[in-house]
A and B are shown apart, each in its own frame.
Chain A
Amino acid sequence: MISKPWRERLTYSAMSAFVAWHTVAMAIAPAPDDGVAVQSLRVLFQPYLSLFRLDNLWDFFAPSVGKGSQLRYIIEDSAGEQHTFVPAENLSWYHPSYFWFRSWYYAIIETPETYVDSAAAIFCREHASLHPVAITLLGVEEGDFAPDDQLSGKHPMDPEFVTVNTLKRVKCPGS
């Protein structure tokens, strides 16, 4: 049985150890990895940071804001007609799915080899009423858009400001 003063000392030590540990963890998680000290501390802290989802960089819109991108797809129906869709156009700012769907679209554009096939299958299913035969996914990269462009009534997604890349053409399942 531990006496009360010792129990208090042990509790105090444990609390001190935890706050020190967690503070270091919070500080090194976003720290740049170029120093030896940070690298060695990272080895020690990584399991803790990963398990409790504390491994964050806090680099909102930084170092550069980056250009946006937009996913589009063209569905070819059995009659050979093409239908273009911009899925992000149907999303609402006020619903969290706005960011979830956009994240998914970014993932498709950034790593098409991983996500294009599953996305194509989902989009083909979504437009089953068109009897789709094939789908072509496009990544639209936004370019520079100046204040004068805005004042002259142009839009950042106008063809002169964007670059369209074909990600992949996929046959719709069951077509």
Chain B
Amino acid sequence: MTIARFTGNMLCALAGAWSRLWFQNSPTSPLELARMGIGAALLLHYVLATPFLFVFWGETGWMPSDLVLKDHDPWIQSVFFYFAAPWQGIAFHALFLLCCAGFMVGWRTSWVKWVVLIGQISYDYRNPVLPYGVDKIVASLLFIMCVAPIGRAMSLDRVRAVRATKLKNLEATLPPYSSPWAGACTRLMQIQMALLFFYSAISKLRGDDWWSGDAVWIVFTTGEHYNPLVLNVLASQYWLVNVATYGTILIEIAYPFLIWQRPTRPYLLAAAVFLHLQFAILMGLFYFSFVMVMGQMSFVRPEWLARLGEAWKRKVGEMEMIYDGKCGYCVRSMAWFLAFDGLQQISVRDFRRNPSAVVSDAKMEKALHLVLPDGRALPGFEAYRYCVLRVPGLWWQVPFFYIPVFSRLFGHAIYHWIAANRGRLSSLRLGPARAMLK
């Protein structure tokens, strides 16, 4: 009886520890940061690959598929093995690029992420000579992101979900997504990064170049990473070579052990980011370094991001957008606009139901207004212009709103035209907004 109870208690404790290790209710924000960064890097990388599509991955290039398919492992698959005509490769490449863009912005993430993974694996396996470290890292991280519930934050999918809620009630909020599975997938990515550092350090410890402290010198003397400026500095101050060589191993060996602890994590993250910045600047490994830094995002604590968001909100101050609740077009526009306000910095007021003490109804008939923390009220285009710089979800609009002269020249005209014709625009398509107006 005692042994049975002891065993039972032990199993319960183990199950509890297992749950705490893997299945803590977590938001997806660290994975979303990695998604956006890796998506952007992939998009740029493969857009630049477009002129070389047939040279590297086509039948007319230097790696015909029969060369790859010789002694072929059936588990190694690429969609390119099944394309018979060049247009099929072009079509897939175009689809892949669109999906990379979708992955970056979090549009239909639940399926585009799989196309991105299949594409990445397909390019790698179609020409196995080309991939180097970064391609392997990208595939490993993409796989984890594919099984993870990504796209639930910092994404257009989230914007669409918030907009749908706002269309029913502009003041309604959609609670942030979190789940035990998101916690498990974040943990998987953390383990992947820790293992990567661990094996990278272990393999270096097996080499004489690293033990002797000369490895960094040898790297910079090879044609691939030759950098005369760096070599001159290193040659005259050779101790820097030893510091850089041993420092690299030290960071790589410390990372998998010290990244887990709360007090040491920020230092290890900073060290890893610093290391990869050096790789980018001195060795030209921009893509590799950027992807590695994005992998580190899995170790960014969600509470750090929450604190950062709160600090930003405090710095900017609260803003109140006053709109015309009887105008369907205005309500739909507000729903779109507010859907990008992930930090909920902007509160709303329908002047028809709840008149403002700051802006008169007569002014409100002409344009919406934004009331700032200091009591000033900005009308129409200026209101939007003020917001896009201060709401992180709207930063992508900054180029449109801040082109010197042109933005204001055309922006005011477009806004006034829309405001003057909002009645007509409202009748075009009311949809769910009609319910709100009733």
Interface residue ranges, A against B (CB under 8 Å): 12, 15-16, 18-19, 22-23, 26-27, 30-31, 46-47, 50-54, 56-70, 88, 93-100, 102-104, 106-107, 114-115, 118-119, 122, 142, 145, 147-148, 150-151, 156-157
Nearest Cβ in chain B — how far from A42, in angstroms? 13
Check if A16 sits within 8 Å of B18, measured CB to CB: yes
Nearest Cβ in chain A — how far from B198, in angstroms? 8
In the complex, chain B residues whose CB is within 8 Å of the CB of A16: 18, 22
Nearest Cβ in chain A — how far from B207, in angstroms? 3
Cα A104 to Cα B131 with chains together (Å): 10
Nearest Cβ in chain B — how far from A83, in angstroms? 21
Whether A142 touches B221, Cβ cut-off 8 Å, given contacts A63-B206, A103-B130, is: yes
In the complex, chain B residues whose CB is within 8 Å of the CB of A27: 195
In the complex, chain A residues whose CB is within 8 Å of the CB of B195: 26-27, 30, 58
In the complex, chain A residues whose CB is within 8 Å of the CB of B129: 103-104, 106-107
Whether A65 touches B207, Cβ cut-off 8 Å, given contacts A18-B147, A94-B286, A96-B49, is: yes
Check if A19 sits within 8 Å of B48, measured CB to CB: no
Cα A78 to Cα B91 with chains together (Å): 41
B interface bracket (residues with beta carbon within 8 Å of A): 35 or more
Is B352 part of the contact surface with A, judged by Cβ < 8 Å? no
**Interchain CB contact (< 8 A) of B140 among A56, A66, A99, A148:** A56
Stretch at the interface among B69-77, B156-164, B413-421, B422-430: B69-77
Nearest Cβ in chain B — how far from A38, in angstroms? 13
Check if B140 sits within 8 Å of A26, measured CB to CB: yes
Is B62 part of the contact surface with A, judged by Cβ < 8 Å? yes
Which residues 8-29 in B have Cβ within 8 Å of A in the complex? 18, 22-23
Nearest Cβ in chain B — how far from A126, in angstroms? 11
Check if B215 sits within 8 Å of A65, measured CB to CB: yes
**Interchain CB contact (< 8 A) of A54 among B62, B139, B184, B215:** B139
Q: List 25 interface pairs A-B (beta carbons < 8 Å), by A numbering.
A: A15-B23, A19-B188, A26-B191, A51-B77, A53-B124, A58-B133, A58-B196, A60-B133, A60-B200, A61-B219, A62-B210, A63-B206, A63-B207, A65-B209, A65-B222, A96-B45, A102-B224, A103-B130, A104-B130, A107-B129, A118-B64, A122-B62, A142-B221, A147-B217, A150-B231
In the complex, chain A residues whose CB is within 8 Å of the CB of B181: 15
In the complex, chain B residues whose CB is within 8 Å of the CB of A96: 45, 48-49, 287
